[in-house]
Amino acid sequence: MSKTKYVFVTGGVTSSLGKGIISASLANLLQARGYRVTIQKLDPYLNIDPGTLNPYEHGECYVTDDGAETDLDLGHYERFLNHPTSQANNVTTGRIYQSVIDKERKGEFLGKTVQVIPHITNEIKDRVRILGNTGDWDIVITEIGGTVGDIESLPYVEAVRQLLWDEGKDNAMVIHLTLLPYLATTGELKTKPTQHSVKTLMTSGVQPDVLVCRSEYKIPQSVKDKLALFCNVRKEAVIESLDASTIYDVPNLMLSEKLDEVVLDHFNLDKSIAPDLSEWNIFVNNFKNPKHEVEIGLIGKYVELHDSYKSITESFIHAGATNETKVNIRWIHSGSLEEGNVEKKLGGLDGILVAPGFGERGIEGKIIAVEYARVNKVPFFGICLGMQMAVIEYGRNVLGYEDAQTTEIEEATSCPVINLMDEQKNITNMGGTMRLGAWKCELVDGTIASEVYKDKLISERHRHRYEFNNDYKKEYEDAGMKASGFNPDTGLVEIVEITEHPWFVGVQFHPEYKSTVLNPHPLFINFVKASLKHSLT
């Protein structure tokens, strides 16, 4: 195929309509027909990346192999498409402005007034084309964050207008996602908000080619026809998107609504090969028809907002399907755990996961949860901060290091079993300076890790500043907590395990970022398996 095609996905009426899932589902269908597709997210906020945002603001911060801290939608893209994304797949207004201002300082626009149009819009266009120009993709889907009509979205919509003009109608198109609210009193789905949001797009010179309409109820043909007429799109291009019981149903829903065909027709691309969703559907079928059930406690401090742990909960869905097991999550706020209520809060769990996190709040509750899992031999999985808490708990309660601590909480502690990595010591900027992205990890034979991965050398993604302090390694290993994975170049401990425990694994990295539908993560698969075994004893 000669030229990369561009699909822009905008949103109207309200936010949170699921542009990311629609984009990922469309990409999935096109990929299942043999096209090479990637998805990009443009975020209209001024942070350079979401790495400095509290998860309550924007949900989980996702991390790519190349160490980009990104929007959680990139996690959906990877989970649906089963191929890695990169920094180029997520761009914020902050990054756009930073690069334009850097160029201005270098003198690249010498003599010119630097303006939103054309300089900011050109930078946005360049960022979209970076993916197209690699030659790696037949189709690039670019999701524009936010809602049309927002002040901060305007430069993006203008950049889309220009790209449509530059690339030509045959090579670029717009899908607009909207909501049809249902009025119970009259029993009607209302089209007016959609009409208005399309008008808003049109005042910026952008005519959508496809409308994807979120709705709680089936959209009658008459309503679709009305939308087509008033919004100036083809009748077949009004696509119904019913609320789904799981996001993993959306590709099939979009297939039956022929969203992929509408897109291929627009580009005049071959649609003779039907999408092959066989593997995907095996997963969906396993997920929906579990034979067993387990309850896993997720101990974290952002549990009020489940999106803060999106990749973890999705990893459980993938791993649950592999084990034909429904994984129920008991959300437990780490700050609510105290010596007196542990049994009440954690009793009956088949597995305990202590989540990643930053800062002091809820730390002691996490340590209590680790102790409960260790002593009661409940399968335990500690991720990043969760692993660090496992090390502290073992230090305090098994090795007798009463003051075992991480220097993240107490810089001058007398027993720094977790401390700042050397390369972190002189860093003062907070943004983008953690140990980020993919790092190699060598596994030690005869451990759970090596058995689970069935490999010697693995690669996992990181996002942290602190690490296991190797000065204590010998004491820990002698006392039964083994380092089962380490960085072959630096010797940093990446995985710890307790030998005398059915399944106790702490990992310094984030396995959840690499679990996909077609490639569920082996650690999650085995943790669920161990939890299932525990539930049967």
Instruction: Give the whole-angstrom CA distance, residue 338 versus residue 405.
Output: 18
Contact segment (CB under 6 A) with ligand GLN among 77-85, 163-171, 227-235, 350-358 equals 350-358
Least distance from C-beta 94 to ligand GLN, angstroms? 22
Contact segment (CB under 6 A) with ligand GLN among 33-41, 64-72, 243-251, 459-467 equals 459-467
- 3-state secondary structure (DSSP) of residue 178: strand
CB 21 within 8 A of CB 76: yes
357: contact with ligand GLN by CB under 6 A: yes
Instruction: Give the whole-angstrom CA distance, residue 42 versus residue 31.
Output: 21
Active-site pick, 314, 460, 512, 534: 512
301: contact with ligand GLN by CB under 6 A: no
C-alpha distance across the termini of the chain, in Å: 57
Least distance from C-beta 358 to ligand GLN, angstroms? 4
Q: Is the CB of 239 or the CB of 495 nearer to ligand GLN?
A: 495
385: contact with ligand GLN by CB under 6 A: yes
Contact segment (CB under 6 A) with ligand GLN among 1-9, 200-208, 300-308, 463-471 equals 463-471
Beta bridge partners of 102: none
Q: Is the CB of 63 or the CB of 223 nearer to ligand GLN?
A: 63
Instruction: Give the whole-angstrom CA distance, residue 442 versus residue 17.
Output: 42
Q: How far is CA 135 from CA 5, 33, 49, 64, in A?
A: 11, 18, 26, 21
CA neighbours closer than 13 Å in the CB half-sphere of residue 208: 32
- 3-state secondary structure (DSSP) of residue 495: strand
Least distance from C-beta 54 to ligand GLN, angstroms? 13
Contact segment (CB under 6 A) with ligand GLN among 37-45, 260-268, 353-361, 518-526 equals 353-361
Least distance from C-beta 536 to ligand GLN, angstroms? 31
Least distance from C-beta 451 to ligand GLN, angstroms? 25
Report how far Cα 272 is from the mean position of its chain's Cα atoms: 33
Active-site pick, 76, 462, 510, 521: 510
H or E element in which residue 314 lies: helix 310-322
11: contact with ligand GLN by CB under 6 A: no
- The Cβ of residue 300 has, within 10 Å, a number of other Cβ atoms equal to 29
Q: Is the CB of 357 or the CB of 437 nearer to ligand GLN?
A: 357
Least distance from C-beta 343 to ligand GLN, angstroms? 27
Contacts of 404 (CB under 8 A, 6+ apart): 391, 392, 395, 396, 415, 417
Least distance from C-beta 55 to ligand GLN, angstroms? 11
Q: Is the CB of 157 or the CB of 418 nearer to ligand GLN?
A: 418
Contact segment (CB under 6 A) with ligand GLN among 91-99, 351-359, 437-445, 478-486 equals 351-359
Total residues found in the chain within this entry: 537
Candidate residues 9, 27, 384, 492; the one interacting with ligand GLN per rule CB under 6 A? 384
Amino acid at residue number 255: L
358: contact with ligand GLN by CB under 6 A: yes
463: contact with ligand GLN by CB under 6 A: yes
60: contact with ligand GLN by CB under 6 A: no
Contact segment (CB under 6 A) with ligand GLN among 38-46, 356-364, 447-455, 470-478 equals 356-364
H or E element in which residue 498 lies: strand 493-498
Contact segment (CB under 6 A) with ligand GLN among 158-166, 178-186, 225-233, 462-470 equals 462-470
H or E element in which residue 75 lies: helix 73-81
Does the annotation mark 384 as catalytic? yes
Does the annotation mark 510 as catalytic? yes
Q: Is the CB of 331 or the CB of 358 nearer to ligand GLN?
A: 358
Residue with tokens 């100036």: 232
464: contact with ligand GLN by CB under 6 A: yes
Does the annotation mark 512 as catalytic? yes
- The Cβ of residue 167 has, within 10 Å, a number of other Cβ atoms equal to 19
Least distance from C-beta 465 to ligand GLN, angstroms? 4
Residue 217 has which token pair?
């109820």
- 3-state secondary structure (DSSP) of residue 18: coil
Q: Is the CB of 177 or the CB of 387 nearer to ligand GLN?
A: 387
Instruction: Give the whole-angstrom CA distance, residue 17 versus residue 208.
Output: 17
Least distance from C-beta 422 to ligand GLN, angstroms? 14
Q: Is the CB of 383 or the CB of 517 nearer to ligand GLN?
A: 383
CB 537 within 8 A of CB 348: no
Contacts of 261 (CB under 8 A, 6+ apart): 271
State the binding string over 403-422 for ligand GLN (x if CB under 6 A, else -).
-----x--------------
Q: Is the CB of 357 or the CB of 416 nearer to ligand GLN?
A: 357
CB 39 within 8 A of CB 24: yes
Q: How many residues bind ligand GLN (CB under 6 A)?
A: 10
521: contact with ligand GLN by CB under 6 A: no
Q: Is the CB of 105 or the CB of 425 nearer to ligand GLN?
A: 425
* Closest alpha carbon to 162 in 131, 198, 116: 116
97: contact with ligand GLN by CB under 6 A: no
Active-site pick, 231, 384, 441, 534: 384
Least distance from C-beta 431 to ligand GLN, angstroms? 14
CA neighbours closer than 13 Å in the CB half-sphere of residue 153: 20
For the chain, how are helix, strand and coil distributed in percent, rounded to 5? 40, 25, 35
Q: Is the CB of 304 or the CB of 451 nearer to ligand GLN?
A: 304
Burial (0-12, 13-18, 19+ Cβ within 10 Å), 298? buried
Burial (0-12, 13-18, 19+ Cβ within 10 Å), 490? middle
Q: Which residues are catalytic?
A: 384, 510, 512
Binding-site ranges for ligand GLN (CB under 6 A): 356-358, 384-385, 408, 463-466
